[in-house]
Amino acid sequence: MLPESLIQFYYRLFPGGFVTSLERTLSAGRGQMLLDGMLVTIQISLGAVLLGLLIGSVIAYFKLSRSKVLRGIAFVYLGIIRGTPSVTQILLVNAIIFTGFRGNRIWVGILALGINSGAYVAEIIRAGILSIDKGQREAGLSLGFTRAQTMRYIIMPQAIKNIIPTFVNEFIVLIKETAIVGFVAVADVTRVAMNLQTRTMDFTPLLVSAAMYLVLISVLTWLLSIFEKKLRASDSDAPKRTAFGGLFKRKGGESS
């Protein structure tokens, strides 16, 4: 027999029992509200990761630039974004940019989280580029390629293999970060669950929202693991890597 105190605690968490609480959470259109909230979460995540990719690419370029001004801009941006809480950032974006805004509130989340994600994506891209041997860059320049051509045709095709898995991980982290958009009245799945918890007076809506996050993240993690296995398989099946990743080859398949 379970202790009486444990039974009482269970019924305080789930009035009428878990099954009854779950039925109450998903009935009267509440289940659809949670699905709509998850759709908002996915929309914000996709918008923010695309914006983060754009900002991150620019900042990575600034960070690797020879210009002290551009490197200074990247240093300040990265320092501010990585040194302040995400919640504070989204509140500032809402107060400074979206005061009086009457459109769709998801733009607040996309902009704030995109700016935040850009700092981490910049470091992912920079690390991916720097992971390529410097000799390939120098050899490209010695053959008459410009810095831009060397980056486009020699460095980036190889760096992308190192960038993509880490970038997908950043996307997964970003999905969980979207839970903060409720602070600026965006009806994501977490905000909807909190509102339903107030109505139903139990924790089941929060458990359902957690399960929805878990399913989404698990699917993305599974897809990432498949991609990484294929990536490793392609590397192991490929012939030994030569200068420029085998970009220049003689007739017969030998490297020049």
In a domain, 133, yes or no: yes
- Give residue 253's pLDDT: 47
pLDDT tens digits for 17-67? 777 777 877 788 888 999 999 999 999 999 999 999 999 999 999 998 889
3-state secondary structure 32-94: HHHHHHHHHHHHHHHHHHHHHHHHHHHHHHHHHCCCHHHHHHHHHHHHHHHHCCHHHHHHHHH
Q: Containing domain of residue 38, as a range? A: 29-235
CB atoms within 10 A of CB 103: 8
- Band (pLDDT 50/70/90 cuts) for residue 11 is low
41's CB contacts (< 8 A; 6+ apart) are: 175, 178, 188, 189, 190
Residue 240 pLDDT greater than 80, yes or no = no
Domain count, the chain: 1
In a domain, 146, yes or no: yes
In a domain, 4, yes or no: no
Nearest alpha carbon to residue 120 among 14, 22, 48: 48
Full-model pTM:
0.80
- Rounded to whole angstroms, the Cα distance separating 170 from 6 reads 40
CATH number at residue 135: 1.10.3720.10
What is the rounded (10 degree) CA torsion for 125, 128, 130, 132? Answer: -140
In a domain, 253, yes or no: no
Nearest alpha carbon to residue 33 among 147, 233, 184, 193: 193
- Rounded to whole angstroms, the Cα distance separating 114 from 125 reads 16
- Band (pLDDT 50/70/90 cuts) for residue 256 is very low
Nearest alpha carbon to residue 112 among 129, 137, 82, 91: 91
Instruction: Tell me the C-alpha to C-alpha distance, in Å, between residue 4 and each of 1, 16, 18, 44, 203.
Output: 9, 16, 17, 45, 20
In a domain, 7, yes or no: no
Instruction: Indicate the residue type of 89.
Output: Q
pLDDT tens digits for 163-198? 888 888 899 999 999 999 998 888 899 999 998 888
In a domain, 83, yes or no: yes
Three-state secondary-structure class, residue 127? helix
In a domain, 3, yes or no: no
Residue-averaged pLDDT of the chain: 84
Return the structure tokens found at 81. Answer: 């974004």
In a domain, 70, yes or no: yes
